[in-house]
Amino acid sequence: MAPTASPDTALAIQLDYPDNRLMIDLVGPHGAHLAQIEQLLGVQIVNRGNTLVAHGEAAPEAERVLNALYARLEAGKQVDMGAIDGLIRLRDDDAEARDGDQTEMFPGPALEIRTRKKTMEPRTEAQKAYTQALLDNELTFGIGPAGTGKTYIAVAVAVSKFITGEVDRIILTRPAVEAGEKLGFLPGTQDEKVDPYMQPLYDALNDFLPGKQLAKLREEKRVEIAPLAFMRGRTLSNAFVILDEAQNATTMQMKMFLTRLGQGSRMAITGDRSQVDLPRGVQSGLRDAESILTGTEGISFNYFTATDVVRHPLVAKIITAYDAEDTRREAARAAREDRG
């Protein structure tokens, strides 16, 4: 049953929702979902039992968001902080020009990647394009700052294709390069030595596969996590292969990795050009691959910016501030060269 709405004033909209159980999920624990909508849209939402009243200039927008979230709950889908963030980010620019059901004005993500533990939905237009590229192409690059979901989405798609039998193995790799620190000799077995470098990949896999199943798949070598150097000499067939932190691969390593692609396989390469940890004077293989392979049929390049960051909102602000400072320094350097 659809909610009813009535305007109290020019800047206040009342919404009545009939289902008590869905209302609890809509409001969120201790009103967390309403608080998030208030923060993102700059409105005030008052909760009175099964009635919500949105106040502020963006009250009509809040109405569309709340109705879309309620419709999502009616369809049996989960509403959490990520779903709210994605719904607001993905709202159509021309929503006000459209007629009909208000939920259609906030259609939400068109893509859903289903895994054993959860369903992953893109939260931004760039994430949607990247997800579709991973589904459609044999070789996909995801390039952009930290926190934009490049690796997370790639792992979700890999797990989904593994579950459906489209690939037989998942292989995750990254260069074992220290992020500006010298950690020295690491004790233990080979796995124990490389595990600290691979931890972000473990974290993503654990989000999509049950722990016992993941452990069994690793024992059977159907899920592999290994440093990039271990890829040399292999032909990776019927596998979904992900190279993470590709900006720290050298040109030779990148060429070696890309030429591992075998029949029935897909590759995803993710990286952030602003976080190269290679020694001074060593060219990033990601930059080379981008300049050499852009425009090659069958290879998709997808780019993210600070607006696609889906971690804490401060992360986007930090990235923007650093980008602005880099631009300022580059301009100052160019000015000094002109004067010289």
Q: How confident is the model at residue 181 (pLDDT cuts 50, 70, 90)?
A: very low
Domain boundary residue among 79, 105, 131? 105
Q: State whether 236 and 300 are in the same domain.
A: yes
Q: State whether 271 and 122 are in the same domain.
A: yes
Q: State whether 221 and 150 are in the same domain.
A: yes
Domain boundary residue among 80, 105, 130? 105
Q: State whether 269 and 332 are in the same domain.
A: no
Flag whether pLDDT at 177 surpasses 80. no
Residue 163: predicted pLDDT: 94
CB atoms within 10 A of CB 285: 27
Q: State whether 49 and 172 are in the same domain.
A: no
Q: State whether 10 and 75 are in the same domain.
A: yes
What does the pLDDT look like over 111-132, one tens digit per residue? 788 888 888 888 888 999 999 9
211 or 3: which carries more pLDDT confidence?
211
Pairing of strands 299-303, 266-271: unpaired
Q: What's the CATH number where 155 sits? A: 3.40.50.300
Q: Classify burial at 245, counting beta carbons within 10 Å of its beta carbon; exposed 0-12, middle 13-18, buried 19 or more.
A: buried
Q: State whether 41 and 96 are in the same domain.
A: yes
130 or 334: which carries more pLDDT confidence?
130
Q: What residues does 48 pair with on adjacent strands?
A: 51
Q: State whether 52 and 175 are in the same domain.
A: no
**What letter represents residue 52's amino acid?**
L
What's this model's pTM, rounded to 2 decimal places? 0.74
For residue 260, give the nearest of 227, 300, 233, 221 by alpha carbon: 233
Q: State whether 73 and 97 are in the same domain.
A: yes
- Into how many domains does the chain fold? 3
Q: State whether 141 and 260 are in the same domain.
A: yes
Q: State whether 84 and 154 are in the same domain.
A: no
Cβ–Cβ under 8 Å, residues 151 and 244: yes
The domain of 123 spans: 113-309
Pairing of strands 113-114, 119-120: antiparallel
User: What mean pLDDT comes out for the span 236-248?
Assistant: 94
Flag whether pLDDT at 145 surpasses 60. yes
Q: What's the CATH number where 101 sits? A: 3.30.1370.10
Cβ–Cβ under 8 Å, residues 79 and 26: yes
What does the pLDDT look like over 280-314, one tens digit per residue? 888 999 999 999 999 999 999 999 988 888 766 66
Q: How confident is the model at residue 246 (pLDDT cuts 50, 70, 90)?
A: very high
Distance from chain centroid for Cα 19: 32
Q: State whether 46 and 191 are in the same domain.
A: no
| Coil vs helix vs strand at 24 | helix
Domain boundary residue among 84, 105, 126? 105
Residue 272: predicted pLDDT: 93
Integer angstrom CA distances of residue 307 from 75, 226, 273, 312: 29, 31, 16, 12
Please give the mean pLDDT across all residues of the chain: 83
Flag whether pLDDT at 336 surpasses 60. yes
